[in-house]
Chain A
Amino acid sequence: AQSVTQLDSHVSVSEGTPVLLRCNYSSSYSPSLFWYVQHPNKGLQLLLKYTSAATLVKGINGFEAEFKKSETSFHLTKPSAHMSDAAEYFCVVSDREYGGATNKLIFGTGTLLAVQP
């Protein structure tokens, strides 16, 4: 069965410093992995997705993530944090049907990112 583990429940950074949100996955086959962001009282927004193409994936708002099969990791990074990045971030793996189309998403427990001025 597929699963993801987010290694930090809370991360606090200063504005302008790098962001690292860690995620490890478990999957019986080549996974599709995603990062979603959830701002308070707003819906989930897709930041980026990995679907077995390039291992370094660039997303919106300057975020990127690198798929490392040897480490079963898919960490999210950003070179310089902005106050507007404060939100909850979810690492997600898809329970992918045979043939490549996505089915249900399996979410991690989330990492709450705080950005200090």
Chain B
Amino acid sequence: DTGVSQNPRHKITKRGQNVTFRCDPISEHNRLYWYRQTLGQGPEFLTYFQNEAQLEKSRLLSDRFSAERPKGSFSTLEIQRTEQGDSAMYLCASSSSGTYGYTFGSGTRLTVV
């Protein structure tokens, strides 16, 4: 078990392009979360999966954002028609039901130019 893995670590994209990030959680964890962290702020919740079901989405997750966890294992977060305001660190975390605290990945840093 190597923890929560996120790829890529860094992504630079031009405004208007689509990007996709991947998260591989700890294998026995059934819950997966996406957060976004902008410079100087704490992470903000985006969305949450229990197994393959997406159970909650934040208001921050506009219709340009979509997340999937097709087989209840890895997850992808796609941003369509990126904007400069999407520049941030995107963090993935996983946990097991009934436990406290998460394991976070190292994040994907997105820069939109």
Instruction: State A108–B41 Cα separation when bound (angstroms).
Output: 8
Total cross-chain contacts (CB, 8 A): 57
| Cβ contacts A77-117/B at 8 Å (1 or 0 each) | 00000000000001010100000111111111110000000
Task: For A108, give the chain B residue with the smallest CB separation.
Answer: B42
Given contacts A102-B95, A104-B48, A109-B42, contact A43 B100 (CB under 8 A): no
Q: B106 and A101: CB pair below 8 A?
A: no
> Is residue A44 contacting chain B, with contact meaning CB distance below 8 A?
yes
Inter-subunit contact B100/A107 (CB<8 Å): no
Chain B residue contacts of A46, Cβ below 8 A:
101-103
- The interface on chain A, measured as residues whose beta carbon lies within 8 A of the other chain's beta carbons, has a size of 24
Interface size band for B: 20 to 34
Answer whether A32 and B106 are a contact pair too, CB < 8 Å, given A104-B33, A104-B45, A107-B43: no
A44 proximity list for chain B (CB < 8 A): 43, 91, 93, 104
Chain A CB within 8 A of B105 CB: yes
- Nearest residue (CB) in B for A42 is B106
Interface residues of A (CB under 8 A from B): 32, 34, 36, 42-46, 49, 51, 90, 92, 94, 100-110
A-B contact pairs, 24 of them (CB 8 A): A32-B100, A34-B100, A34-B101, A43-B106, A44-B91, A44-B93, A45-B104, A51-B100, A90-B42, A94-B100, A100-B98, A101-B98, A101-B99, A102-B95, A102-B101, A103-B56, A104-B45, A104-B48, A105-B35, A105-B45, A106-B45, A107-B43, A109-B41, A110-B41
